[in-house]
Amino acid sequence: MVQLVAYVSNGIEHSGPQDPNGPPQHGLSWDLFTRFRKKLALNTNLEEDRDYIVTPSWGGGLLSKMESDIRQFMESTPRPDVIVTADARAIRILRRMGFPNDELPAVVAAQVHDPVDLLANNVRYPGKNFTGVLIPYHGMTWTRFQLLYEMVPTPKRFGILRYIGQSPAFQAEAQREVQEAAWAAQGLGLELLDMTVDEVTDTPQADSGNRAPAAGPSPAESIQVGLQPVIGGPSERPQHVDGIVVLMNAVFELNMKTLLDLLAGPDGLKTPTIFSDKEFVSRGGLMSYGLDRFELPELAAQLTAQILMGTKAQDIRLVTPGRRELAINEDEAARVGIEQIPPQLWTRATVLY
């Protein structure tokens, strides 16, 4: 009997616009999916297309599209034997729909603070027909502050840029990271400027019904308003900061070019900035510190393989990624006025651009 694996992706292609209804032809989302398929094949004695089929869906970066894709999976015949997602928003969609349940196991490899709070009973015994990758966020923000502090000569004031969602669960998660930023600033003797990006519009696609587009600011407008304290505005003089720590959120990832353009446009900032993902650095950001993104689909594939081989999802312990990456962009360092990258950061860097 052929088993079906549903792979739910946000489908974002960072290098350019794409059809939200079709797969990305190249780029990050496609690379992650390809890594998942290869690792899945290596971890089973099953053969793809003969013993199992992996069917992806591409959300185009839109919550509405991802939800319609998941519903289509749930209503299809035959239904999937396991659903895999690498996007935190898909977890909340599944939870609203009552999944995972006794009929459909789920494997989650998403960048969330604490998937135990979202789906699992506990780390050791997930329960609820669910397993996944536990992302250890605690300490990450503190480390980013420390790294940026070492990069910038005699810093006195850092800013944080963060996204404010409407979901109470999301706000609770984000508040933990904000508290960690405050502790880091206090420990390093820094003043802290808090910059927030408000809720952005997720415009429904044509295939999700005849609903009118949601009213609200575009991502570009919201991010620009969020950065206004340091880039200034018609009636607001810019405030000085010695560095900016961007707290990770999917809105920033999905609007990477907009954020980088505002930070380094014709009249942009010359402020050292650290991100959570090396993708920002490869496209012009100064530095990043975070998990190796490609380890997540590899771990998800290992868990999925166990399910395909007959192990129940609730009996598979949550796993934790171990690889960390520090990426530095030499050209951007020169642009923002850093004459020499500190030797200890050179030694620690895993990726240089």
CA atoms within 13 A on the CB side of 86: 28
pLDDT tens string for the chain (353 positions)? 789 999 988 766 544 445 555 555 556 788 888 999 999 999 988 999 999 999 988 877 676 777 888 888 878 888 888 988 876 667 677 777 776 666 777 787 655 555 545 555 555 555 667 788 877 667 889 999 999 999 999 999 999 999 887 666 566 667 888 999 999 999 999 999 999 998 766 543 333 343 444 556 787 888 989 999 998 877 888 899 999 999 987 788 878 888 999 887 666 678 999 999 999 999 999 999 998 988 989 999 999 999 999 998 888 888 888 889 999 999 999 999 999 999 999 999 999 99
pTM: 0.82
Q: What CATH number is given for 140-291+325-352 in this structure? A: 3.40.50.2300
Query: What are the structural domain ranges in the chain?
Result: 3-136+292-323, 140-291+325-352
Residue 127 makes CB contacts below 8 A (sequence gap 6+) with 120, 121, 314
In the CATH scheme, what architecture does the domain 3-136+292-323 have?
Answer: 3-Layer(aba) Sandwich (3.40)
- Kindly provide the b/e burial profile for residues 114-137, where b requires at least 16 CB atoms within 10 angstroms of the residue's own CB: bbeebbbeeeeebebbbbbbbbeb
321 CB neighbour count, 10 Å cutoff? 18
| Pairing, β 324-328 against β 157-163 | unpaired
